[in-house]
Amino acid sequence: MNIIIIRILFGFLLTISFNTSAQKVDSIWYDRNWKETSLLQEHFYLRTIKPIEGVIKNFEVIDHYHNGRIQMKGIYLSIKPEIKNGEFYYYSEAGTLTTKNI
User: Per-residue pLDDT tens for 5-37?
Assistant: 433 433 443 344 444 445 688 999 999 999 999
Across the range 63-77, mean pLDDT stands at 96
Lowest mean pLDDT among 13-22, 64-73, 77-86: 13-22
Across the range 55-62, mean pLDDT stands at 89
Exposure string for 66-84, b = 16+ CB within 10 A, e = fewer = eeeeebbbbebeeeeeeee
Q: What is the pLDDT of residue 21?
A: 46
Residue 76 has pLDDT above 50, yes or no: yes
Which contiguous run of DSSP H or E holds residue 77? strand 70-78
Residue 72 has pLDDT above 90, yes or no: yes
Across the range 46-53, mean pLDDT stands at 94
Give the Cβ contact number of residue 10 at 10 Å: 10
Contact 92, 63 (CB under 8 A): no
d(CA 10, CA 14): 6
- Dihedral of alpha carbons 23, 29, 34, 35, sign: negative
pTM: 0.72
